[in-house]
Amino acid sequence: MAISRARKEELIALYTEQVEQSQGMIFAHYTGLSVPQMQALRQRVREVDGLAFVVKNTLLQRVLKEKAIEVPEGFLTGPMIVAFPHKDAPPVAKAFREFAKEMEEGRFKLRGAVVDGTFYDEKAVIRLAELPSREQLLAQVLATINAPATQTVGVIASGIRQVLNVLQAYVDKLEEGNKPAEAAA
């Protein structure tokens, strides 16, 4: 079905805005998905700070060409849904990957991604989806930084504990020595 020139201009403006504001794009091919399934996918993508749109391939191709983003020839064909991650690409890729696993074979298939202006194939998108989130990476770095300090504190505390144990044993011995003297007095 043909769309009006005004609608085409709206879509081009929308795609341009999303390309400029996002960290990349994740592409998937879909067939036979119901409206509730598409809404569920869009909701998942929104939860990880992204937006997903069913795109007009020719209009998106025009925007990509304008922004000097290269995708393989013939890549944008058939029914395509594109996610635009606004913070980090891995959580959005993960949402797409999990959705693809839940769908019947061939109904939702990852096709590729563009991150930082570079195109990646389906296998790279799967690897991207397996990356830990930014928060997880920061937690790992913090744990790595804290590990030596934690170990140092443990060593110091054990040394102090040993000295306190020796002092407590000495105090106990002195108290035992004083009990017979007190009993005799």
Do residue 90 and residue 164 come from a single domain?
A: no
Do residue 127 and residue 144 come from a single domain?
A: no
Range of the domain at 179: 132-185
**Contacts (Cβ under 8 Å, ≥6 apart) of 171:** none
Q: What is the pLDDT along the chain (185 residues), one digit of tens a residue?
A: 578 889 989 998 999 999 888 888 999 999 988 899 999 999 999 999 999 999 999 999 999 889 888 888 888 888 999 999 988 888 899 999 999 999 888 889 999 999 888 888 888 888 888 877 777 778 888 888 877 777 777 778 887 888 888 888 888 888 887 766 555 55
pTM: 0.69
Q: What is the CATH number of the domain that holds 105?
A: 3.30.70.1730
Do residue 37 and residue 84 come from a single domain?
A: yes
Question: In whole angstroms, how far apart are CA 69 and each of 19, 56, 85, 97, 166?
Answer: 10, 17, 16, 23, 71
Question: In whole angstroms, how far apart are CA 90 and each of 27, 86, 107, 177?
Answer: 13, 11, 22, 70
Write down which residue in 131, 146, 161 finishes a domain: 131
pLDDT of residue 51: 93
N-term to C-term CA, the chain: 112
Do residue 162 and residue 84 come from a single domain?
A: no
Do residue 157 and residue 70 come from a single domain?
A: no
Please give the DSSP secondary-structure letter assigned to residue 49.
T
What is the number of domains present in the chain? 2
